[in-house]
Chain A
């Protein structure tokens, strides 16, 4: 079945450091890919998404490119802030009409001042 594998961390960084969280997927067909973020004590929020190969999703300085050849959707940010401390989930949807999201295990990121 469809699945997502992401580095689990935890990841600890200093402010203004470069962040990358690896995410790879296994799927039949042409899935949509997402990054969700969960701040402490809150629900998940959509951070960015990509629906086809070579699409780049971006939001709040974060970027991820849908790479079909490497089945990857790595999350990157050039300069992190303390406020980026959160848990990041990579997720996959088999199709646009699919109600189910397959989530990765989540990566806890802590940014220190």
Chain B
């Protein structure tokens, strides 16, 4: 299994809603990432978890709250988002020893905030 699975594929939410994005991998990777990608732009790193501990937070606003409950799962909890937060949210995983040897990306969750 060389896949990173993200659910849901599409999400529409209001600014007062609370929702969660989910990511799962079974490759034994111990580093997991959240990226945000606006249309026609490159991905921007948000968070990195290494061995289930938050390793990098790229000064992301608190309305995005990551969680890594175990080595296979990564969540992104969303609350009080703004329309400018509408984007494709990509999860990725890698081995932590050489994290950029190869990143495996999921297909993403396309988020629309109304």
Q: Chain B contact residues: over half helix, strand or loop, or mixed? A: loop
Which residues of chain B have C-beta atoms less than 8 A from A89's C-beta?
42-43
Interface pair B90/A99, CB less than 8 Å apart: no
Given contacts A99-B48, A100-B45, A106-B42, contact A42 B99 (CB under 8 A): no
Interface pair B99/A99, CB less than 8 Å apart: yes
- Asked if A83 is at the interface (CB within 8 A of a chain B CB), the reply is no
Q: How far is the CA of A104 from the CA of B41 in the complex (A)?
A: 9
Residues 7 to 24 of chain A near chain B (Cβ within 8 Å): none
- Asked if B1 is at the interface (CB within 8 A of a chain A CB), the reply is no
Q: How far is the CA of A32 from the CA of B31 in the complex (A)?
A: 18
Residues 77 to 98 of chain B near chain A (Cβ within 8 Å): 90, 92, 97-98
- Asked if B55 is at the interface (CB within 8 A of a chain A CB), the reply is yes
Q: Which of A32, A96, A104 contacts B42 (CB 8 A)?
A: A104
Q: For the side of the interface on A, what is the size category?
A: 20 to 34
Tell me the smallest distance from the CB of A19 to a CB of chain B, in Å. Answer: 19
| Contact pattern, A 79-113, Cβ under 8 Å of B = 1, otherwise 0 | 00000000001000100111111011110100000
- Asked if A45 is at the interface (CB within 8 A of a chain B CB), the reply is yes
Given contacts A99-B48, A106-B42, contact A41 B107 (CB under 8 A): yes
Q: Which of B4, B56, B101 contacts A100 (CB 8 A)?
A: B56
Nearest neighbor of A89 in chain B, beta-carbon distance:
B42
Tell me the smallest distance from the CB of A38 to a CB of chain B, in Å. Answer: 8
Beyond A34-B100, A44-B103, A98-B100, 8 additional contacts (C-beta under 8 Å) are: A43-B4, A46-B102, A46-B103, A49-B102, A99-B31, A99-B48, A101-B100, A106-B40
Interface residues of A (CB under 8 A from B): 32, 34, 36, 41-46, 49, 89, 93, 96-101, 103-106, 108
Q: Can you give 19 contacting A-B residue pairs, CB < 8 Å? A: A42-B108, A44-B43, A44-B92, A44-B105, A46-B102, A49-B101, A49-B102, A89-B43, A96-B101, A97-B98, A99-B33, A99-B45, A99-B48, A99-B50, A99-B56, A101-B103, A103-B43, A105-B42, A106-B42
